[in-house]
Structure 1
């Protein structure tokens, strides 16, 4: 189906640099949408380092994943390509121009940090049981997304 909407040259240029999301699922799953992107993600990708751009999109995916969890589970990070297990995500950051880092604890309760180059980005989000003595699950994605709504750099 063709979209016959007429756009100005400025709108065409803006549409070309704004983020686009396309997902298709076989199940009834919530997908991130460009309609409700945080303020920081509406800025052109060309103004950001690869690390900042990856960081912002990972936050969006974590937040969307958490929307699908019940009150007994939190988001964890599964390590792809190794047997390091799962890290419960407690923080996320980036170091320009090309490093993304995850902070958390592993299944044994040890502090962990994954430092990853954006060219090696490979993240598996997993549902992890929250601590038994914890009343509510920690929703890190929603905390991180708050930073993307600020006027200042999301990393500060």
Structure 2
């Protein structure tokens, strides 16, 4: 039997990303692939976003989901892949259309660090690491990024050359 759908339902389904995950444990926590997209990310269809924006938004979802599972005394760090680059304490994430993501933060030695990554080479490893003792509360970058997206009325892009 063929299922009948309205035009609106067909458009809505076409805008949803295709994602799937399989875990070895039936009790595994929910992951970003199975959670619904937040409304601020679902405003535009994936095919209407640049590769950089779409990668940025999905990385944000993964970080936020990872942070939801951290203990109070842990923070997320980004494990840099390729070589012996170490880790980056995430303090900011950005994208530059059409194809660049940037991660801002500090490395394990406290040095200011910036990773500029092409979306075709995107490899991100999230690591739970004990938070520094001097910090009162863990910093949750994923939730700050989500809040920033919620505050946007519409996706706007700035041209960096306009600020000179």
- TM-score of the aligned structures, taking structure 1 as reference length: 0.89
Deviating above 4 A after TM superposition, structure 1's stretches of 4 or more consecutive aligned residues are none
Q: 1:87 to 1:154 in 2, by over 3 A?
A: farther
1:29 paired to 2:29: yes
1:153 is matched with: 155
Q: CA deviation at 1:16?
A: 1.6
Aligned length: 154
Any idea what the Cα deviations from partners look like across 1:81-120, whole Å, max 9, x if unmatched?
2211111100000000100000000000000000000011
What 5-or-longer segments of structure 2 have no aligned partner? Answer: 159-164
Q: CA deviation at 1:135?
A: 1.1
- Secondary structure at the aligned position of 2:24 is classed as coil
1:85 is matched with: 86
Q: In the aligned structure 2, how far is the partner of 1:34 from the partner of 1:17?
A: 15
Aligned positions of 1:1-156 closer than 5 A: 5-27=3-25, 28-32=28-32, 33-149=34-150, 150-153=152-155
RCO higher in 1 or 2 (8 Å CA, sep ≥ 6)? 1
Q: CA deviation at 1:155?
A: 6.5
Q: 1:63 to 1:41 in 2, by over 3 A?
A: same
Q: In the aligned structure 1, how far is the partner of 2:62 from the partner of 2:157?
A: 17
Farther off after superposition, 83-92 or 30-39 = 30-39
Q: CA deviation at 1:154?
A: 7.0
Q: Is the 8 A contact 1:78 1:126 kept in 2?
A: yes
Q: CA deviation at 1:17?
A: 2.5
What 5-or-longer segments of structure 1 have no aligned partner? Answer: none
Q: Is the 8 A contact 1:85 1:107 kept in 2?
A: yes
- TM-score of the aligned structures, taking structure 2 as reference length: 0.85
Q: CA deviation at 1:26?
A: 1.7
Q: Is the 8 A contact 1:45 1:53 kept in 2?
A: yes
Q: 1:136 to 1:153 in 2, by over 3 A?
A: same
